[in-house]
Amino acid sequence: MNFSIYMTGLMMGLSLIVAIGAQNAFVLRQGLRNEHVFAVCLACALSDAALIVLGVTSFRQISALLPWLDPVMRYAGAAFLIWYGAKSLYSALRSSAVLAAGEAKSSSFRETLAMCLALTWLNPHVYLDTVALLGTISTRFPGHEVSFAAGAMTGSFLFFFSLGFGARWLRPIFAKPSSWRILETLIALTMWMIATKLLSGV
């Protein structure tokens, strides 16, 4: 294990994942609601780890064998994010009692996990960051790809668990229904912005 390359992977992984996106917004909301937090964080981190390994070991072969995958994932992901954004905006417009932190309608474990995995695996930006970008960067460290991948995966675990369990410090703020409305609206706008970028090929 090369420690300097491990740290490069760690910092690179954190820098790519820290921006608020569809997946991160979902983890934040689950943390605020204290609902299936560990499972959501673990699912996100393990998904990232799997994609990082895929990128480090197979990126070149995948891009050569499946040239059609990019447009398919882009349009499917955009459609899903548009739908999820509309769902969040609808939540923002609902009654204050439903939006209150303690009274928010809970989702089953299966529903929550399915939504978490959909936000992860149906978002082409996740593949761009983990498979394409990290896979490409790892080629700069021939013979030390394992160290780089381990660092990037550590960054994912640190980030998701910090976001999910750290959200509890924000709960007093989100005890107000207006704060939930703002969060849901911001989530909707984030989803639609990502979808627009996907459709425009950015």
Could you list the pLDDT tens digit for every one of the 202 residues in the chain?
A: 788 899 988 987 877 776 557 788 889 889 988 899 999 999 999 999 999 998 888 866 776 777 776 677 667 767 877 887 887 788 777 745 333 444 455 778 999 999 999 988 887 777 777 877 777 778 778 888 899 999 999 999 999 999 999 988 887 876 777 777 787 788 788 778 867 876 886 5
Tokens of 160: 């998701």
Domain-wise residue ranges, the chain: 3-200
Q: How confident is the model at residue 99, as a pLDDT?
A: 39
Q: What is residue 19's predicted lDDT score, i.e. its pLDDT?
A: 59
pTM above 0.85, yes or no: no
